[in-house]
């Protein structure tokens, strides 16, 4: 299982080798780490002057034929702010389950803001979403000093909220107590019994969501969360709003900008997802991206993994290890054994950034020696950083939103039939995406779908990196095309997300958000 969009801070605090080196922008939602110090940055600009083609207005009508935007604007909610630390304020606002039928129920969404350091020169509110879907954003306000440049903190209130169903929202999505029962299964079954175990596991996961979350599963789609952003904007007293979204947060931001383009002061979409692909094709693209990053790891390991026997290579070693773990999983007392399922998730966890490759090397070395604990630790880190098999609700919400957003029918038979296609583009890791898609194939709720992206505004900057496994650059380019008037920043990093890690991209983003600097159509950092 690979979250299609997520911003993954690692649980360890690395040594900072450069002012902007940060593990924060790579892992999802556990600890916020590494202080960003923006010093003298050099920006290398290039690209032709962009064109601004007319965008097609999306279909935003609701099921009853009403207009979504009108229904959203008819709903208002205030925030009763209370001090929750020096320079911080906390509160809640309310949104209906369904804007076209607001009487059926309401979400209470928590919001936290870090007040601007220089109130006299305050520009306004900067809304933040870390990705997922399912990532709680509240800590991003609390630890804003470790995430954002001093320049942003001087002039913006950093505003973070938990979207409907996420984190501390009430109610929140809940599905299972542990991911061991499903994601430690063999993702590439070798016989009918293993296939049936995968089918049964996916069904049990989906049924757990239904039993624990019930009807809110019909009201957690991205288009609903994007609608809530306009309620939040008005509750903040802002005519226009600024936004910085990472990974899945780019889908959320693009949907908001499509629905409410006149309210966009400035929006940055870092590690943008591909809005042109359907559910299946989008995950196949992601599988390709992770496979590419794994091959880059192998090339690095052949040079840097000193534990490899003379004359051997990392690809052959990995294939042998994978086969051995399939036949003879390594015991972990009280936890599932380290098998191919744990291997696949653990490896993917380390592929979000190249500076995590030494962690993966150490885990593989230990596994070759008969100790699967390192791979199990990476497996746990992927699911929220716990070390005892339990989890937060991040992945639960991921599935709830993803399955709600899907725009095509998926069945167990169809997903199992994707094996040959995935083997062709991702022969090493492709099976993990079958395992992920099996959950939505077992989903009993009808999909809500998504709207066509096309924002009638030129106040959007899209950011992508050339070595991003989770949101490959090809998809980011499609986001730019789909938006119609957006600018592009390309980072050469071998990781997911760029802000705070690439000095060039960080400076360009800051200048745009603060001064609305209109740069080139494409900036190659």
Active-site pick, 149, 247, 361, 465: 247
Judged by phi (left if over 0) then psi (alpha if -120 to 50, else beta), residue 476 lies in alpha
Contact 266, 243 (CB under 8 A): yes
Name the β-bridge partners of 107: 95
Contact 25, 495 (CB under 8 A): yes
Residue located via tokens 């169809």: 414
Q: How many CA atoms lie within 13 A of 436 on its CB side?
A: 26
Catalytic annotation present for 219: no
Contact 503, 42 (CB under 8 A): yes
Catalytic annotation present for 496: yes
Query: Closest Cα to residue 293, out of 398, 423, 429?
Result: 429
Residue 33: C-alpha distances to residues 143, 147, 367 (Å): 8, 7, 28
Distance CA 376, CA 345 (A): 9
Active-site pick, 468, 491, 498, 510: 468
Residue 386 CA, distance from chain mean position: 19
Distance CA 278, CA 282 (A): 6
Catalytic annotation present for 247: yes
Active-site pick, 496, 501, 502, 510: 496
Contact 183, 383 (CB under 8 A): yes
Residue 486 CA, distance from chain mean position: 21
Contact 404, 218 (CB under 8 A): yes
Which run of H or of E encompasses 155?
helix 150-155
Token pair belonging to 195:
């296939």
Cβ-defined contacts of 329-336 (< 8 Å, 24+): 329/372, 330/367, 330/370, 330/371, 330/372, 331/372, 332/372, 332/373, 332/376, 335/180, 335/376, 335/389, 336/180, 336/184, 336/376, 336/389
Distance CA 169, CA 164 (A): 6
Burial string for 212-237 (b: 16+ CB within 10 Å, else e) reads bbeebbbbbbbbbbbbbbbbbbbbbe
Rg (CA), the chain: 22
Residue located via tokens 């099921």: 63
Distance CA 108, CA 171 (A): 7
What are the backbone angles phi and psi of residue 381, rounded to the nearest 5°?
-60, -40
Angle, in degrees to the nearest 10, between helices 279-304 and 357-368:
80
Catalytic positions, written as ranges: 247, 468, 496
């Amino acid at each position: 299982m690979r979250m299609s969009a997520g911003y993954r801070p690692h649980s360890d605090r690395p040594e900072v080798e450069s002012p902007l080196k940060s593990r924060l922008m790579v892992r999802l939602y556990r600890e916020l780490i590494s202080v960003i110090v923006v010093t003298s940055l050099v920006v290398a600009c290039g690209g032709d002057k962009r064109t601004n083609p007319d965008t097609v207005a999306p279909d935003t009508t609701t099921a009853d034929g009403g207009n979504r935007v009108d229904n959203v604007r008819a709903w208002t909610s205030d925030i009763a702010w209370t001090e929750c630390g020096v320079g911080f304020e906390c509160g809640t606002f309310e949104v209906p389950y369904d804007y076209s039928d607001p009487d059926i129920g309401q979400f209470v969404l928590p919001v936290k803001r870090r007040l601007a350091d220089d109130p006299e020169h305050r520009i306004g509110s900067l809304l933040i979403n870390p990705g997922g879907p399912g990532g709680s954003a509240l800590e991003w306000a609390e630890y804003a000093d470790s995430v954002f440049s001093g320049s942003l903190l001087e002039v913006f209130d950093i505003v973070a909220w938990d979207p409907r169903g996420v984190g501390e929202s009430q109610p929140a999505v809940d599905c299972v107590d542990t991911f061991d029962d499903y994601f430690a299964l063999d993702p590439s079954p070798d016989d009918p019994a293993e296939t049936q175990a995968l089918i049964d596991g996916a069904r049990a996961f989906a049924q757990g969501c239904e039993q624990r979350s019930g009807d809110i599963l019909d009201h957690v789609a991205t288009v609903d969360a994007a609608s809530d952003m306009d309620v939040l904007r008005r509750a903040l007293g802002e005519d226009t709003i600024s936004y910085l979204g990472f990974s899945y947060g780019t889908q959320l931001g693009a949907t908001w900008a499509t629905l409410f383009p006149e309210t966009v002061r400035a929006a940055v979409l870092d590690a943008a997802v591909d809005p042109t692909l359907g559910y299946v094709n989008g995950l196949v693209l992601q599988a390709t991206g992770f496979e590419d990053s794994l091959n880059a790891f192998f090339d690095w390991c052949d040079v840097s993994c000193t534990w490899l026997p003379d004359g051997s290579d990392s690809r052959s070693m990995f294939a042998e290890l994978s086969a051995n773990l399939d036949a003879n999983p390594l015991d972990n007392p009280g936890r599932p054994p380290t098998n191919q399922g744990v291997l696949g998730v653990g490896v993917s966890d380390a592929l979000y950034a190249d500076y995590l490759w030494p962690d993966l090397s150490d885990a593989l070395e230990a596994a070759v020696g008969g100790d699967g604990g390192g791979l199990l630790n990476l497996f746990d880190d992927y699911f929220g950083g716990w070390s005892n098999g339990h989890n937060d609700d991040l992945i639960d919400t991921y599935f709830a939103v993803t399955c709600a957003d899907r725009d095509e029918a998926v069945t167990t038979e169809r997903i199992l039939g994707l094996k040959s296609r995935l083997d062709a583009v991702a022969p090493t890791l492709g099976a993990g995406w079958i395992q992920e898609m099996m959950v939505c194939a077992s989903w009993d709720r009808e999909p809500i779908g998504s709207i066509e992206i096309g924002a009638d505004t030129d106040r959007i900057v899209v950011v992508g990196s050339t070595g991003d496994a989770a949101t490959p650059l090809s998809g980011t380019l499609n986001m730019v095309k789909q938006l119609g008037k957006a600018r592009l920043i390309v980072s050469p990093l071998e990781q997911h997300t760029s802000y705070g890690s690439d000095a060039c991209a960080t400076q360009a983003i800051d200048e745009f958000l603060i001064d609305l600097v209109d740069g080139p159509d494409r900036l190659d950092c």
